[in-house]
Structure 1
Amino acid sequence: MNDVPLADADLDALVPEWVDWAGAAKALGVTVSRIRTMIREHELAAAVPRPGAGQQLPAAFFQDGLVVKGLPGLLTVLHDGGYDDRECIAWLFTDLDLPGRPIDALRENRGSEVKRRAQAMAF
C-alpha cells in the first residue's frame, strides 16, 4: 500500500466507474430511498469522487443485480474500526497484494482474507 492516508486518496483515480444513487437503485432493482437506507446502515458506501460531483457509489459494488457478497459485513467491520465511507472505498480499491484489490477478491468470492485484514485493521 502507498503512503497516502486513506482519507486523502484520490477516489476518482482509484475507482474506474461510479454510479449515482439512481443508477445504484436501478442496478439492484430497489428505490433510491432504499439505497439511502443501505448507505446509512453501512450495507453500501458512497462518497464524492471528485469536486463538484454528487455522492456516488463504485459500480463494482454490484454484481448480477445484487450487492457483492461479503461487502455489507466488510463495511460494518471497517466502520466499527473507525473508518468513514470515503476511507472504506479507498481501502477496497487499493492494491493490498491479496493478489489485487480487496474489491476484486470479494467479487471473485475470495472474501475471507479481505475480512481478516479488515478485522486486523480495526484493532
Structure 2
Amino acid sequence: MTANDAASTSPRHDRVATEWLTLPEVAELLGETPGRVRRLLDEKALVGSRREGPLRIPSVFFVDDEVLSSLRGTVIVLHDAGFDDDEAIDWLLTPEESIGDAPIEALRAGRKAEVRRVAQTLA
C-alpha cells in the first residue's frame, strides 16, 4: 500500500469531524505568536493543510489548549513512510481497521505505540 492508497487528497466522509483552525486561531489558542506556531509546523509538532485556501490545522490536534504531545513523532513516522502533510492528516482522521478507531482518536486516548506501529507498516 502506498501513501496515496492510504490517504487520498480529497476529503473523506468517514473522517473524524473536526473544526479547522487558521494560524491566528491556533496562536490564540496556544497563547503563542504566529511565528511560534510556524516553528511548530516546521518542527513537525503540528501539521496543517492549504488544500482549501489558507493554512488550517485540525482542532483535534489539541488537548487542553496544548498540542497533542504524541502528534510530532507520529507525523515524523508518516513522513518517513512517504506521506505528505495532507496525506498524513487524512490518515490521522480516517478510521483505521487495524487500530479500531481513527489514529487521532487512538493518540488522544494514549495509544501512541499502537498508532506508530501501524504507521510504520505503511512505507
Is the pair's TM-score, using the shorter chain for normalization, greater than 0.5? yes
| Per-residue deviation, 1:18 | 0.6
Q: In the alignment, what sits opposite 1:55?
A: 55
Matched, 1:31 2:33: yes
What amino acid does structure 2 have at the position aligned with 1:6? A
What amino acid does structure 2 have at the position aligned with 1:22? P
Q: Give the SS at the match of 1:19.
A: strand
Using structure 2 for the length normalisation, give the TM-score: 0.84
Instruction: Give structure 1 stretches of 5+ with no counterpart.
Output: none
Q: Give the SS at the match of 1:57.
A: strand
Q: Give the SS at the match of 2:101.
A: coil
CA distance in 2: counterparts of 1:37 and 1:56, whole angstroms: 15
What amino acid does structure 1 have at the position aligned with 2:26? A
What amino acid does structure 1 have at the position aligned with 2:67? V
Matched, 1:68 2:68: yes
1:36-77 superposed Cα distances (whole Å, 9 cap, x missing partner)? 111122111110253xx3110000000012111310000011
What amino acid does structure 2 have at the position aligned with 1:59? S
Which gives a bigger RCO, structure 1 or 2 (Cα 8 Å, sep 6+)? 2
Instruction: Give structure 2 stretches of 5+ with no counterpart.
Output: none
Q: In the alignment, what sits opposite 2:113?
A: 112
CA distance in 1: counterparts of 2:81 and 2:55, whole angstroms: 23
Aligned residues: 118
> Identity of counterpart residues, as a percentage?
35
Using structure 1 for the length normalisation, give the TM-score: 0.84
| Per-residue deviation, 1:89 | 0.2
CA RMSD of aligned residues (A): 2.1
